[in-house]
Structure 1
Amino acid sequence: MPWLFLAPALVLFALFKYVPMVEGVRLSLYEVRPFLGDVWVGLDNYASVLTDPLFRTAAGHTLLLALGTTFGSMLVGFGLALLLEGQARTLWFVRSAVFLPVVTAAAVVGEIWRMLYYPAPDGFVNTLLSWVGLGPWPFLDSPDTSLWSVMAVGVWKGAPYDMVIILAGLAGIDRQQYEAAAIDGASVWQRLRHVTVPALRPVASILLTLAAIRGLRVFTEVYVLTGGGPANSTTVWMTTLISRGFEKQDIGVASAAAVLLFLVTLALTVAVRVYRARKEIG
């Protein structure tokens, strides 16, 4: 009976997830020629990806963006969680307001920030910067600032999600530990360092995994904000993959790039799980 109820979902997963994944692996081994017949090339597509300067540049940008958004979101989310922790009834409204960026479509977020980043002196962000004597900055229009501007949007969108998970972790900490530390004369900073942070290590490992995967697969924000420009300064793995597959019609190489991204993501997930298992055993 359970399999009967699971069957519709399993069929949908097979048709729209697993079958396309297997087909992607198959296409990565061919030179795809629609209506002319595919030609077997083996691992040549993978070699093309690994030796392509644009893909190497995109890999560096993706890694930098993933690291920045991952740790930035965790730090900001941790700060928000500390500020919004508690049982007060009014906190639910503030938490809901802070969480809105997570449930907002990434394309909408990108479009809003593209307008906020308007590079003229009367742009919204530049106006705020002018109040403290800074700017105007070009933000998305300069190769020197575009990647950092995209990273800031990623942190803004990801931090509330991390906040919710950290709040769940904070709720599981025994309050008597804080009271005992306070009686022993520990300051607020010492309680935060020696009680809160160690208790949140399991939560941190989960956040690292989820945020790193989210960072490696970033696409929509970059595509909406910059499209990979200017001068390829914000091109990431996914934008390069999409460009290669749908604009240049090089489906085989694009499929190989997608498979490589999947393998990196899988390796990262397995590594974190093994690390957590060893920590629990130790």
Structure 2
Amino acid sequence: MKDKIKWKKRDTIGWLVMVPTLILFAFFVWEPLIENIRLSLHSAVGYEIKEFVGFENYIKVLNNPTFIKAFKNTFSYTLWSLAIGFIVPIILGILISETVHLKGFFRTGIYFPNIVPGLATVWIWSYFFIPGKTGVLNIMLSKIGIDAQAWLTNPKWTIPLIILTMTWKGAGATALIYMANISGISPDLYEAATVDGAGIWKRIRHITIPSIAGIGKTMMILQIISVFQIMYEPMVMTNGGPNGASVSLMMLMYQYAFRDFNFPAAAALSVMICIILVILSGLYMKLTKSSEE
């Protein structure tokens, strides 16, 4: 009986501690989410909801020719981020962990870009990739006899270069997470591998990579969710160009809301993005769970 009373007290105290957080979560997350879904099903003048129109806003968004471009581009951003932005932090984390001297210096160096504000990073790289003879990169290439390149004005290079900019900005912080995970690996495993004659590459392949696979899966899904919501990078660097080659779904949503002042359409597109992310996350979790089993 005493144990039951103690459990009730502990349970009550736990809920009392959680109540403020639950209230804030409901007010800042669930209420705006529900209101956004409600707005997407109505017509509106500005923010003022008028009449129920069902899925009319969703149909208009789907019929917009720019939507198909933005949809394809967003998946292209995601795939390029997995090819570049996901691999680079792993390589950096492993190499620095294997470094014996100046490890602190390298950690500081790779984290430094994270200190720079995101918008400033985008502006810096925009000037770096200016086409023609005035671009920083083209000036450097001209010194070794290479002609000026189009860079961001070339539709084939626009998305990879934007992803390269994002990778430069965020790879350091992610690499530190991998390094922290690697530092938790038992030294006995490396010692045993060294005694057995395993070189650095075999140690990385058979010990380091399997040990960071779990955190790698988490970082992958977080990266997919983050990159799928890319907006200000293409907006600042290319304004969605050339000819819509870099426009993303979030950028299209921004245009609906703050260029066309069509808030119901923006709300409908945001709900669609949320559904896509939930589906992708669910598929990823199911696939990784099946592979683990």
Within the alignment, does 1:96 sit opposite 2:101 as a pair?
no
For the pair 1:125 / 2:147, whether they are aligned, the reply is no
Q: CA deviation at 1:2?
A: 5.6
Distance 1:216 1:174 in 2: 36
Task: Find out whether 1:261 has 2:273 as its counterpart.
Answer: yes
Query: How far apart in 2 are the matches of 1:36 and 1:4?
Result: 37
- Contact 2:76 2:159 (C-alpha < 8 Å) held by counterparts: no
| Alignment pair present for 1:108 and 2:120 | yes
Q: Mean alpha-carbon deviation: is it higher for 65-74 or for 7-16? A: 7-16
Return the TM-score normalized by structure 2: 0.85
Q: Given that residues 123 and 236 in structure 2 are in contact (C-alpha distance below 8 angstroms), is that contact kept between their aligned partners in structure 1?
A: yes
Q: After TM superposition, give the deviation of residue 205 of structure 1 in Å.
A: 0.3
Moved more, 133-142 or 222-231: 133-142
Question: Using the alignment, how far apart are the partners of 1:267 and 1:35 within structure 2?
Answer: 29
| Corresponding residue of 2:38 | 26
Q: Which runs of 5+ in 1 are unaligned?
A: none
Alpha-carbon offset, residue 89 of structure 1: 8.2
Matches within 5 A, 1:36-115: 38-85=50-97, 90-115=102-127
The answer as to whether partners of 2:85 and 2:164 remain within 8 angstroms in 1 is: no
Greater shift in the superposed pair: 237-246 or 172-181: 172-181
Check the 8 A contact 2:221/2:281 in 1, yes or no.
Answer: yes
Shift of 1:225: 1.0
Residues 188-267 of structure 1 aligned to structure 2 (within 5 Å): 188-267=200-279
Equivalent pair of 1:70/1:155 in contact (CA under 8 Å): no
TM-score normalized with structure 1 length: 0.87
Deviations 1:199-248 (A, max 9, x none): 22102101111111111011121111112112111101111111112211
- Measure the CA separation in 1 of the matches of 2:214 and 2:190: 19
Amino acid at match of 2:154: S
Return 200-209 or 133-142, whichever deviates more. 133-142
Give the superposition deviation at 1:9.
4.8
1:45-99 CA distances to partner (integer Å, 9 max, x unpaired)?
2222233221111011111111212331222112211232168684334312311
From the superposition, tell whether residues 103 and 70 of structure 1 become closer, same or farther in structure 2 (CA, over 3 Å).
farther
**Change in 2 beyond 3 A, CA 1:84/1:36:** closer
| Pair 1:180–1:7, CA change in 2 (3 A) | same
The answer (yes or no) to whether the contact 1:33–1:39 under 8 Å persists in 2 is no
Cross-structure match for 2:10? none
**2:154 is the alignment partner of 1:142:** yes
For structure 2, the 5+ residue unaligned runs are 1-12
d(CA) in 1 for partners of 2:47 and 2:234?
33
Amino acid at match of 1:54: T
Displacement after TM superposition at 1:279 (Å)? 4.8
SS of structure 1 residue aligned to 2:45: coil
The alpha-carbon deviation at position 270 of structure 1 amounts to 3.1
Deviation at 1:13, TM superposition (A): 3.7
Decide whether aligned partners of structure 1 residues 36 and 89 sit closer, same or farther in structure 2, where only a CA change above 3 A counts.
Answer: closer
> CA offsets, 1:243-277, max 9 Å, x none?
11221122222111101111122223333334444
Deviations 1:171-219 (A, max 9, x none): 1223333333333343433332222222221021011111111110111
8 Å CA contact 1:77, 1:160 repeated in 2: yes
What residue identity is the alignment partner of 2:27? L
Q: Give aligned pairs, total.
A: 281
Change (3 A) 1:91 1:186: closer
